[in-house]
Amino acid sequence: MMKTNGERQRLENVYWMARYAERALLTLNVAQNYLGYGLEASEENWSSCWERIKKGLRISRCPADFSGKIACCFFFLVFDPDNSLSAFSSLFSARENAKLLRDWLPLALWEELNSAYFLISSTTASSSNLPSSLYPFLRNILERLLLIRQWEDYLLEEDCLWAWLKIGESLEKVGNSAAFFFAYHPADNKDPLPFEEWEAFLSSLFLLDLIKKKIPLHELSFEKIASYMFELSLYSYSFPSQLNKILHYMELLSGQWAMETAQAKTNELLTKVLERAKEGFEAESTKKLFLDIQIECNQIHQYLLSALA
């Protein structure tokens, strides 16, 4: 079906708005949950933890080696306009795309996103001094972004724009989760990690409460934690749950857009994930899987953009 350039641009805007907002949500949640550990950890422990955070957030370059300087690390994650993956940069990009959708976005959603951006952009911070109220500040912005997620299903009509928004959110979640599990894979982390860092890792992915109910703390292991990311019914953020959601939204769009290639690739990834769930989670065999999930999410992303082109 032929679409006008204006229609295609609006769908691209809503897709990117969703991805940038989800990226900001993760970065802010990481900053909030690692802050306490970072302030109390030794310089050596924090330096190792910072390397895992960078890998989990897929940050390839920092302006300088400041692994032991806690204020520099959190400024870089949250406020640095020169870091394209900072919470500030992600919220700016989400807001810029949302501005072009003002006739479609409910006012409440726009106001929460707009206020989250102005809160972070108007806060004075530097790489040498963090705001004294950083924790409640992060919590405030996170609550606004989480509220947007809760309201979407209530305030948005299930139309083409809504489906593209949901695809963007879920695809970003899958890639982000896989990147963090790849960063914490035991093959690259030979020394036992402090429990406080495991706690920050699990909280950053909204996994802590689930894990505490299912696994005694003294039995905590990477393999047991990873197993919940492959369970279809136990966890709404699991890989199968999110991939099934993406396929559902693609099916809604398939009558209007050329979704065949993106659907086939998503189905292929879902099959791989479900097969691994049956085989088990030996440490060595899962490292490549977490990398493959990231790579295949990028391929699905490219197929989606091609469908819009």
| Residue 298 binned pLDDT confidence (cut-offs 50, 70, 90) | very high
Give the pLDDT mean for 94-122.
Answer: 94
Q: What tens digit of pLDDT does each residue of 221-242 get? A: 888 888 888 876 667 889 999 9
65: left (phi over 0), alpha (psi -120 to 50) or beta: beta
> Buried b / exposed e across 15-27, counting CB within 10 Å, b at 16+?
bbbbbbbbbbbbb
Alpha carbon distances (Å) from 49 to 33, 176, 211: 12, 17, 21
d(CA 178, CA 128): 32
**Least confident residue range of 88-92, 107-111, 234-238:** 234-238
Give the pLDDT mean for 249-266.
Answer: 92
| Residue 153 binned pLDDT confidence (cut-offs 50, 70, 90) | confident
Task: Select the more confidently predicted residue: 9 or 125.
Answer: 9
User: Model's pTM, two decimal places?
Assistant: 0.93
Can you give the pLDDT at residue 284?
65
Question: pLDDT over 70 for what percent of the chain?
Answer: 94
Alpha carbon distances (Å) from 308 to 10, 78, 125, 258: 10, 31, 39, 8
- Of 38, 10, 60, the closest CA to residue 199 belongs to 38
- Of 77, 281, 301, the closest CA to residue 187 belongs to 281
Q: What tens digit of pLDDT does each residue of 9-21 get? A: 999 999 999 999 9
Euclidean distance between the first and the last CA atom of the chain, given in angstroms as a whole number? 13
| Residue 2 binned pLDDT confidence (cut-offs 50, 70, 90) | very low
- DSSP 8-state assignment for residue 218: G
